[in-house]
Amino acid sequence: GGNLPEALALVSAASTTNPADMEALAHLATLQHAAGLLEDALRNFQTVARSDTCGLELYNNYGVVARELGQGEEAVAAFERA
């Protein structure tokens, strides 16, 4: 297994250093989801989705987090974009 807290710290630092790096932010959101930080993950997935630089996997992950937070309409919208 990996070291999730260490990975979160590294990717968070990279994302903070370069906030325009949507790929780093998407990775951070995925790690936050894995760590159970759903609100943070959702916020970061929303930011990446608004940038229009994301693909199918991001929208799928975004939809999963929104669904887990009980935000059905947002989840459906994300899944439809995937």
Whether the Cβ atoms of residue 78 and residue 66 lie closer than 8 Å to each other = yes
Cβ neighbors of 34 (< 8 A, separation 6 or more) are 4
- How far, in Å, CA of 60 to CA of 78, rounded? 7
What integer pLDDT is reported at residue 34 of this predicted model? Answer: 95
Q: Which tens digits make up the pLDDT trace of 6-24?
A: 999 999 998 889 889 999 9
What whole-number percentage of the chain has pLDDT above 90? 79
